[in-house]
Structure 1
Amino acid sequence: MQGINLSRTACSQLLQIARQKVVLRQMGKFAMVERVRSINLHREDREPRLRSRHYIYRNIENPNPPPTEIEVLLIDNVDGLGIMGDIVKVPKKLWRNFLCQARLATYPTPENIVELSKEIKTMGDNMAILKKLGKYSRMTLQKIRGLHLPVELLPSPDGWTLTKAHLKVALRKVGIFASEDSITLPEDPHIKTPGEFVFTLTMNEAVPLKIRATLVETPLVFTEETVVDKIQVWGNPPVTPDEELDPAIRKFITTPPIDLDASMKTPSRRKEKNYIKY
């Protein structure tokens, strides 16, 4: 019986040595390693004698690494990520440090999806407009509202007839690529003298915005500073006040955009030392 027990002990120790894998935790991350030199056989009632060679490990590649992203259900509009009701994949760090704490997203369980769908139905057509606008629409709308567009045309003694092509080219110069179908000319496109006028730009066939523009003559002789250089293109007061917008669109536009890049940055825990200068 004693020989049988010893053989079982030896077999169990051999299996233990064959499966020797150690999990180390360093800097908040897990690393799976195994011993390069196996441990000698030892009795069950005694601890194994470990030498320095037994503390040499090699890394083991994890065949099933943990996922770095997680699916979440957005319960609010998040700029650059999605609209309320969208199910998106985000990094776990973003979910843990920002979206969950700010209550902008939750787990996409069937109960949460049904509860959120009821809230979306109460919004009616406003939710359909937000879906049509897209995830980058709030930042775009806020920037376009403060646009003062310079439109350059060659000098003409008889005046100018403004076309959609003129406005399309002027918008492209400031970084806005719009189709002619989204541009609505002013009531009287025949402009006799350079000056300000207002036209309408519709975003994604959903939200029309009035844009301030100024028609200027292109100088035929080179000058260091032109009239266009004196125009403040961005950051101007909007033409259409907030009160004239639809309540849902007004709430959507006036809400400050969410900076996801800033939320991903974790604050440093290093304490700054106060040095006294003599």
Structure 2
Amino acid sequence: MLKSISKLIPQIHQLKNVLLQRETIFQQQLRTTFVLKRKYQAPLHKLGLRPKRLRSKYYIYELVKDTDIERQPELKLILTQYVDGLGNPGDQVSVSVNYGYNKLLLPGLAVYANPENIQLYKDGSSYQNEPKHSSPYAHLTAQVLSNKIISVVMSKDNPWTIQPWHIKTSFRKCGFIVPEHAISIPKKPIQGPDMNLQNREFFVTVTINNCEKVNVKCKIHHWSTDISERMPHVHEFWKNSPGSVFSDETEMTEK
């Protein structure tokens, strides 16, 4: 019994050294500030007398401000490249701190709006080769429109020729307000009713702010007031592509 205990003594000493060994604890200073105020105003002490001990209710505090959850001031930056939803190179913007650091400063899309950078980007020579757009949302709008397929509903009973106002109405049904003067249709007229054109594609050109141009795909769909003459419903019609209206899809017109 004693021999077995004596064998365990070295192991116990090793375990003791491991448990009592000092480890370096990483300490990081936190800039945390809490602003408090007393819930009950403590009475003042009389001059020349010994201060009385305060009651426990005078140690109850209310939180006025917590810097951890307080909204930080916005970061003022100067864009070095065009950013969707913000602006062109050289524009001064104010964004949240996290967005400014992670999305603009780290990728190199902006710099701090200090006096040196303001003077540097004032004349425009630092970003003259960067592309510019008519508005912060122009490029984003062009991307959205280029990914859309507009259904142009035309009569199956009466003759028609597609005009810009037909396209304007079709855009409005899809939730886009596009003025008629900003729509350019193909030079070659598209006339109907012609069942060979059913669900066929053609492109129109939309001009954004009289500057950017984007091609939008459209599909023709025939509609009849007579229920018996209506075309059968096609689920997800945009996935079916029987072809284009013109053999050359690049035949477009520009005003």
TM over 0.5: yes
Per the TM alignment, residue 167 of structure 1 is displaced from its structure 2 partner at its CA by 0.4
Distance 2:34 2:76 in 1: 23
Partner-residue secondary structure (3-state), 2:167: helix
Q: Name 2:144's counterpart in structure 1.
A: 143
Higher helix share: 1
**2:41 and 2:63 mapped to 1: Cα distance?**
10
1:41/1:232 Cα in 2 relative to 1: closer, same or farther (>3 Å)? farther
Q: How big is the shift at 1:97?
A: 4.9
Partner of 2:87: 82
Q: Which position in structure 2 is the counterpart of 1:221? A: 227
Instruction: Pick one of 70, 73, 78 that aligns with 2:75.
Output: 70
Contact 1:37-1:56 within 8 A present in 2 as well? no
Query: Could you tell me the TM-score, scaled by structure 2's length?
Result: 0.61
Q: Compared with structure 1, are the counterparts of its residues 113 and 68 closer, same or farther at alpha carbon in structure 2 (3 Å cutoff)? A: closer
Q: 2:237 aligns to what?
A: 230
What amino acid is aligned across from residue 153 of structure 1 in structure 2?
M
Contact 2:84 2:137 (8 Å CA) reproduced: yes
1:162 is matched with 162
- Mapped pair 1:94 → 2:94: no
Provide Cα deviations, 1:228-278, integer angstroms capped at 9, x if missing partner: 852249xxxxx88xxxxxxxxxxxxxxxxxxxxxxxxxxxxxxxxxxxxxx
Letter in structure 2 aligned against 1:143 = V
TM-aligned CA distance change 1:52 to 1:179, over 3 Å = same
Give the Cα separation in 1 of the matches to 2:183 and 2:47: 85
**Number of residue pairs the alignment of both structures matches:** 198
* CA-atom RMSD in angstroms: 3.9
Matched AA of 1:52: S
Matched residue, 2:126: 119
Q: Name whichever of 110-119 and 48-57 sits farther off.
A: 48-57
Candidates 48, 57, 67, aligned match of 2:61: 57
Query: How far apart are the structure 2 equivalents of 1:228 and 1:71?
Result: 49
The alpha carbon displacement at 1:168 in A equals 0.2
State the alpha-carbon separation in 2 of the partners of residues 169 and 228 from structure 1. 22
| Counterpart secondary structure, 2:108 | coil
Q: Name 2:113's counterpart in structure 1.
A: 108
Matched-pair identity in %: 25
Amino acid of the residue matched to residue 59 of structure 2? Answer: Y
Preserved CA contact (<8 Å) 1:151 1:167: yes
Larger C-alpha radius of gyration, 1 or 2? 2
Mapped partners of 2:74, 2:140: distance in 1: 25
The code of the aligned residue for 1:82 comes to: G
